Structure 1
Amino acid sequence: MTDLARASLEHSGGAMTTTSRPGALDAVGSLAASLLAGGSVVLLGDGVPKCVGGDDVDARVEAQLAERYELRHVVAPAGAHGVVLDESTVDATAADAEGAELIVSVGSGTVTDLAKVVGARLAVPVVAVQTAASVNGFADSLSVLVQKGAKRTSPSAWPAALVIDHDVLADAPDRLTRSGVGDAVAVWTSPADWYLACALGVDPGPYSDAFTAPVRDAVVAMTAPEATDAERMSGLVDALTLGGLMIGAAGSTAPLSGCEHLLSHVLDMRAMAEHVEHDLHGAQVGVASVVAAALWDVALHDERILDVSVDDLAPPADLRERVLATWAPVDPSGALGEECWIAVERKVVRWQEQRGGVAAFLADRERHRGELERLAGDPASCAAALAAWGAPTTFSALTPSVDADRARWALAALPFMRDRMTLADLLLFAGRWDDALVERVLARAGEAGGGL
């Protein structure tokens, strides 16, 4: 078990303390008192009841604060997709929390992200009470927002205190825990995308195993076949919390967010634009991790993508048209396509500025090939880890199910959404990104227990 209290102080530069143990919920009052002697406190939640041992979690938190503080309840506005952190949600919550001297959030990763961004806007500390082991975003200084319909990661603030009560997590819905497993398993593929971007010079980097190895080690513990249920849950908590800490320390989600997270974001964006439901972020990431590992397998071994020359690599002349065409069926107004093109264009500019870095990368291709083989992961291992926890491994097993056409579209859309370089972009620039490649990747994922 990792000493998360020590790790939190170390990687946050002293900005965040973490209390992680059974019964940690009872520490909320003393943690709040260490930050604010008295005054106005906002309790931020999503209105969904959460229980531990038959007790209401919100009520137990409120009971610890009621005598010392002037309390206000703020419930994040929810729509068809639950709480979505778009501009109107953030603005409305910040207005409702105006005048608070401390925010205590109780809820999911989305509620915590909202608390962090509102806390940063109002310049007040946040005590985050984590109610499920569902994502790694509780323990970092970033928030995933929806800006003009597109998923974007933005700086916010570290929680001043993070409370992880293992009893609360154990009583959370199994679906949320399985989502956390999907988010954690991504570490078996995502570092390869970050390494690639850094080695090409498109990401300033530099790449370092220090941001990924601790999470990999924790994921091994959470998937050990001989582990007890308590040990596996402890490993999951470690994997997610360390993942958040590494992201916060790096100042970017890049170390733990590659093609697999991008695929989940693309699915979210289409669902939101079409006003239909989508599954939890981590559940989608888990399924996408099997696909991402298969993509690396096909790219390295079938396509031999590292054997290209500098002259073989160039952004397609019709890239803007391809970005707009990708998103036009989702948003006929063209606004979402234009927002994505702005991001993709930034990526192209950095690529063009780093031609020397690309040449140096290819000159040392064998060393880079070895590193990418090490980091890219095995699709069968990803699928087996998910299956061991009862998490979905295929698009059709998601809730709601993602049909084959939508899955193919989402995979094909990977280079056309954001400004971060991934393997999908390298394949696009090499002229290899087409429907036939998508089919081979999905077939390879299917052979490993994932895919459609």
Structure 2
Amino acid sequence: MSLVSLEDRARSSSGGAMRLVSEPGALRRLAALVDELAPTGEVVLVADLTAKTVDGGDVDARVQAALPAGRHRRVVRVPAGAHGATLDERTVDEVCGRASGAAVVMTVGSGTVSDLGKVVAATLGVPLISVQTAASVNGYADPLSVLVRNGAKRTVPSRWPDVLLIDHDIVAEAPLALTRAGVGDAVAIWSSPADWYLACALGMDSALYGSRFVDPVRDLAPRLADETASEAERLASLIDVLTVGGLVIGDAGTTAPLSGVEHLASHVLDMSAIAEGAAHDLHGAQVGVASVLASALWDVALEDERLFDLGPTDFVVPDDLEGRVRAVWQPVDPTGVLGEECWHAVEAKMRRWVAAGPQIRAFFTHRREHVTTLRVLAGDPSLPAAALRVWGAAVAFSELSPPVPPERARWVLSALPFMRDRLSVADLFVLAGRWDDRLFDRVFARAAATGGGLGV
């Protein structure tokens, strides 16, 4: 499926098609786009506190200079804490209030700012223009936002941008760490679709798995590992992979096609750092490292553990599950708030498991066909590892900034099934009574064989 056909299917909350403007010098088209969406009224720019430059000039200033002459504009800066901008309840409410009165909202900056702008524009009921300043995540091009609720990362519906403007000249000058983070977000395609397929096939996802939500990204992803491509060609490929990824997420109505075990690991790292007041790396950087680990987990599930050779009656909800969920979060949040939030999510997931008995039995009746598909979708950690290396991105936990020590990395793996209500292969290990240190040793060893895992 082409980028154009996916764009045609993208819809904003107002019912019109999301317009994608992706090219060098795209900023020159901004004035006409603003006048088209909101001929009169105030333009409110939502931006973070991070300085961004292009050709030696400030990006925020360049954006303001590109607005229609004479239009009143106001800049709303997103408050930042120790972890930068955190989209918790207080921040979202504050920015929505400060943006009140806007005729059009424009976001300039990171994926976090983009997510916030979607919520602000949806709340105010005004058009949204998203000016992407880095190829760091695929979330610019989807109608969802990742917010923090009771300390836990949650993906919620928000809205499409009316215009997604990607000026390749600006993106090319983004910090290399952001671009590498984008590669990390992109390589999830070699693990996440398997988790979504599994959930759909077991009756644990209300959606129906469709290759049309996966193949467009899988077709583009090998270009990320092309060592013969020029720097500009590789960047254009990364922009395409991330943008198509966002569009297919929006088309599917869920992040599940591109968000499996590897995204769980990144969210767990974020949540623990927020709870402890500690630093953590960029989302995409963490996803890239975790994609190698997730592929290794799938490889172990399919080859070493032969997880799908078991029968449906071998998967049982543990009697002590609530205690295990609360215990895993207790070290990072002794208040129990985070454990309570995560238990509600896990409890809902297990209620669905119990109710999905007929679909689960049908899955195991046709296990051979399902396992064949799962082998195609995941299980080769060398694929994400190779792409990450081409870009000089982190492959192992020790290569993140700050480095994640071995004991924390093992804890992250242990916490994966105890965080949200979406089923993954990790949940099957829990239900089979195999989610333990013996398994973790195998998974980290498999990841280490490609340079990933714990690292040095």
- Structure 1 residue 12, shift from structure 2 partner: 3.1
CA contact (8 A) 2:6 2:248 kept: no
CA contact (8 A) 2:136 2:284 kept: yes
SS at match of 2:66: helix
| 1:10 matched residue in structure 2 | 9
Aligned length: 451
CA contact (8 A) 2:189 2:258 kept: yes
CA contact (8 A) 1:15 1:158 kept: no
Distance 2:322 2:159 in 1: 34
Superposition map of 1:137-156 within 5 A: 137-156=139-158
Code of the aligned partner of 1:143: S
CA contact (8 A) 1:52 1:171 kept: yes
| 1:90 matched residue in structure 2 | 92
| 1:327 matched residue in structure 2 | 329
| 2:437 matched residue in structure 1 | 435
| 1:132 pairs with one of 131, 134, 137 | 134
Superimposed CA distance per residue, residues 108-139 of structure 1 (whole angstroms, 9 cap, x where no aligned partner): 10000000011111111110000000000000
Structure 2 residue 450 is matched with structure 1 residue 448 = yes
Distance 2:418 2:50 in 1: 35
| 2:231 matched residue in structure 1 | 229
Code of the aligned partner of 1:168: I
- Structure 1 residue 61, shift from structure 2 partner: 1.2
**For structure 2, which runs of at least 5 residues remain unmatched after alignment?**
none
Distance 1:78 1:47 in 2: 8
Distance 1:169 1:65 in 2: 19
Code of the aligned partner of 1:124: V
Distance 1:378 1:312 in 2: 26
| 2:263 pairs with one of 251, 261, 264 | 261
Superimposed CA distance per residue, residues 170-209 of structure 1 (whole angstroms, 9 cap, x where no aligned partner): 1110000000000000001100000000000101221111
Superposition map of 1:378-389 within 5 A: 378-389=380-391
SS at match of 1:39: coil
| 1:164 matched residue in structure 2 | 166
TM-score (norm 2): 0.97
Distance 2:5 2:217 in 1: 16
**For structure 1, which runs of at least 5 residues remain unmatched after alignment?**
none
| 1:352 matched residue in structure 2 | 354
| 1:53 matched residue in structure 2 | 55
| 2:114 matched residue in structure 1 | 112
- Structure 1 residue 26, shift from structure 2 partner: 1.4
Code of the aligned partner of 1:223: A
CA contact (8 A) 2:35 2:68 kept: no
SS at match of 2:42: strand
Structure 2 residue 178 is matched with structure 1 residue 202 = no
CA contact (8 A) 2:302 2:379 kept: no
Tell me how large the CA RMSD over aligned residues is. 1.2
| 1:176 matched residue in structure 2 | 178
Identity %: 57
Distance 2:99 2:213 in 1: 34
CA contact (8 A) 1:29 1:61 kept: no
CA contact (8 A) 2:27 2:66 kept: no
Change (3 A) 1:203 1:436: same
| 1:250 matched residue in structure 2 | 252
CA contact (8 A) 1:141 1:248 kept: yes
CA contact (8 A) 2:32 2:68 kept: no
Distance 1:150 1:267 in 2: 11
Distance 2:70 2:394 in 1: 45
TM-score (norm 1): 0.98
Superposition map of 1:202-221 within 5 A: 202-221=204-223
CA contact (8 A) 1:291 1:445 kept: yes
- Structure 1 residue 272, shift from structure 2 partner: 0.4
Distance 2:430 2:175 in 1: 40
SS at match of 2:72: strand
Code of the aligned partner of 2:378: A
- Structure 1 residue 3, shift from structure 2 partner: 6.3
CA contact (8 A) 2:297 2:379 kept: no
Superimposed CA distance per residue, residues 397-438 of structure 1 (whole angstroms, 9 cap, x where no aligned partner): 000000000000000001100000000001110111111111
| More moved, 219-228 vs 19-28 | 219-228
Distance 2:252 2:404 in 1: 33
| 2:191 matched residue in structure 1 | 189
Distance 2:52 2:28 in 1: 15
SS at match of 1:69: coil
- Structure 1 residue 225, shift from structure 2 partner: 2.6
CA contact (8 A) 1:133 1:240 kept: yes
Distance 2:96 2:307 in 1: 47
- Structure 1 residue 4, shift from structure 2 partner: 4.1
CA contact (8 A) 1:103 1:124 kept: yes
Distance 1:95 1:315 in 2: 44
Structure 2 residue 248 is matched with structure 1 residue 281 = no
Distance 1:31 1:124 in 2: 14
SS at match of 2:165: strand
Change (3 A) 1:59 1:4: farther
Code of the aligned partner of 1:238: D
CA contact (8 A) 1:5 1:17 kept: no
Distance 1:438 1:31 in 2: 52
Superimposed CA distance per residue, residues 3-22 of structure 1 (whole angstroms, 9 cap, x where no aligned partner): 64553232337431010000
CA contact (8 A) 1:4 1:18 kept: no
